[in-house]
Amino acid sequence: MKSAKRVPIPARGVDYRGKIVLAPMVRSGELSSRLLALHYGADLVWGPETVDRSMIGTTRKVNEHLSTIDFTRLPSHGSKDPRQDQKESLIYRLHPEKEGKRLIFQIGTSDPERAVQAARIVAADVAGIDVNAGCPKPFSTSGGMGAALLQTPDKLCSILEALVKEISTEFEIGISVKIRLLETAELTEVLVRRLCATGITGLTVHCRTTPMRPRERAIRGQLKMIANICRESGVACLMNGDVETRAQAEQLITEFGVDGAMIATAAETNSSCFRSEANGGVAPWKEVVEHYIKTALEVENRFGNTKYLLNHLIPGKQAVYREVTTSRSYHQVCQMLGFEHLEAQAKEIDKKLGITSETQDQGRRGKKNKSAMAAGGNQAKIRSVQAEEKKSRSERGIQNQPIAAVDI
């Protein structure tokens, strides 16, 4: 029997075949979340979409204290007075030892030259570059990125070809793309054939069309066709959409003939979904939360982002859930959850992050606003997280983004 064709995997790249991976998700794909997924068995992790313009102009710095590599830049809206020190904004942080060989950097782009320019900055520190051609949200499509690229296949192919020619060759890593289904199977087939001819090593298909939302069930009727085209071209094919556990992922891989699977929402709710049944399966929420907080403290994750993830990891029916939505510091969270052994470290990290009793008091005073109280728990949570995450989203080139996590 003739062996299946395979696009050669570059020396520093990874083969997506047989992998169950963390999907790229805005806010839910920061370093602490990626490390949590890897801890529980994810084979690879995608970082959140980072827009090309936000990476261009960053400075790569080795953070010896955290053992991370940080990409930072001065804020574009900062003071122009040279006498005033400006704090650099953190655009992207990765951990080379713990995730570098398993981290795929997803780029938001609509231009081949900018894509190459941005990818070149981070390519030496990651295992692959993935182009986002599937996000349906306006912050991406309005710039011709994300799912908008599905309507401009010539542009999408030119971006992938440029990355394959410039980045894959120079840095010896693979280039991949993440798409959604088109309006008909025939249109999807034509697009997939074109994409597979660009030299990419992997293609992920989110089994929904652009207008569909997460609450609508994934469409898997085209998967076998897509998998067959990828196999003919030697390109690894991953599926995404309503995959909830490793066991289910393995079953779907067998059923539809794809090479791997990507988990999004289920990982946001409980990252132990990557763990096999033989290794314990899905863990109790409090165990996962404890490990997440430990990880967030170790990498000094922004508290606003940590709090956002906790509001997903902690079941809404738990009494402590509502308490955590009002928290203003790592120390408060550890007290609320009964993690006394983490309180000292939490206090230290709060201090490093500039979270003081004064800022916490200001937050509590803000919570007393009658209209905010009347809005209920979810609205209070949204405002709190939105305020703390707004700056970060802007710095990453992501504007007007809704508060719910975005699977991109």
Model confidence at 400, pLDDT cuts 50, 70, 90, reads very low
In a domain, 13, yes or no: no
Q: Which of 135, 196, 237, 273 is catalytic?
A: 135
Q: What is the Cα–Cα distance from 396 to 408, expressed in whole angstroms?
A: 15
Strands (E), 89-191: 89-94, 103-108, 128-133, 174-181
Residues 271-290, mean pLDDT to the nearest whole number:
97
Q: Can you give the pLDDT at residue 5? A: 80
**Short-list 109, 226, 116, 213, CA closest to 161:** 116
Could you tell me if 214 and 270 lie in one domain? yes
91 conformational bin, left if phi > 0, alpha if psi -120 to 50, beta if neither: alpha
Residues 172 and 227 in one domain: yes
Separation between Cα atoms, residue 38 and residue 392, nearest integer Å: 24
275 shares its domain with 289: no
Residue range of the domain that includes 35: 20-279
Distance separating alpha carbons of residues 151 and 136, to the nearest angstrom: 12
Tell me the per-residue pLDDT of 201-220, one tens digit each, with 9 for 90 and over: 999 999 999 999 889 999 99
Residues 192, 67 share a domain: yes
Q: Which domain CATH number covers 250?
A: 3.20.20.70
Pick the more confident residue, 361 or 24. Answer: 24
Same domain membership, residue 358 and residue 269: no
Last residue of a domain, one of 235, 251, 279: 279
Amino acid 373: pLDDT: 34
- Work out whether the CA dihedral 116, 66, 398, 54 comes out positive or negative: negative
Predicted local distance difference test score (pLDDT) of residue 372: 36
Residue 5, domain member (yes or no):
no
Model pLDDT for residues 56-69, shown as the tens digit of each residue? 999 999 999 999 99
Is 135 catalytic? The answer is: yes
pLDDT digits (tens, 9 = 90+) for 225-234: 999 999 999 9
Is residue 2 one of the residues assigned to a domain?
A: no
Regarding predicted confidence, which is higher, 351 or 390?
351
What whole-number distance in Å separates Cα of residue 11 and Cα of residue 31? 25
| Percent of the chain topping pLDDT 70 | 84
User: Residue 404: what pLDDT?
Assistant: 42
Task: Say whether both 177 and 249 belong to one domain.
Answer: yes
Q: Which of 256, 279, 302 is the last residue of a domain?
A: 279
Q: What digits encode the pLDDT tens for the residues 349-379?
A: 999 999 976 555 554 554 444 333 333 444 4
- State whether residue 60 is helix, strand or coil: strand
The CA-atom distances, in angstroms, between 6 and each of 179, 202, 236, 327, 359 are 20, 10, 8, 51, 56
Check residues 78 and 286 and name the one with the higher pLDDT. 286
Structural domain includes residue 14: no
Query: What was the pLDDT predicted at 369?
Result: 46
Mean pLDDT of the chain: 89
Give yes or no for residue 72 having a pLDDT over 50.
yes
What digits encode the pLDDT tens for the residues 82-119?
A: 545 568 999 999 999 999 999 999 999 999 999 999 99
In a domain, 3, yes or no: no
Give yes or no for residue 136 having a pLDDT over 70. yes
Of the candidate ranges 10-14, 32-36, 86-90, 229-233, the one whose mean pLDDT is the lowest: 86-90
Higher pLDDT, 402 or 53: 53
Q: Quick check: 142 pLDDT over 90?
A: no
Identify whether 4 is part of a domain: no
400: left (phi over 0), alpha (psi -120 to 50) or beta: left
Domain termination residue (choose one: 246, 279, 312): 279
Q: Each residue of 323-354: pLDDT tens digit?
A: 999 999 999 999 999 999 999 999 999 999 99
Task: Dump pLDDT digits (tens) for 154-181.
Answer: 999 999 999 999 999 999 999 999 999 9
290 plus 275 within the same structural domain: no
Amino acid at 51: V
**Dihedral, 33, 38, 39, 42 alpha carbons, nearest 10:** 120
308 in the same domain as 159: no
Domains: count for the chain = 2
92 & 197 share domain: yes
In this structure, is residue 315 part of a structural domain?
yes
- Residue 9 falls inside a structural domain: no
Q: CA-to-CA distance for 254 and 305, rounded, in angstroms?
A: 36
Residue 72 has which token pair? 């930072």
Give Cβ neighbours of residue 246 (< 8 Å, ≥ 6 apart).
20, 41, 273, 274, 275, 276, 277
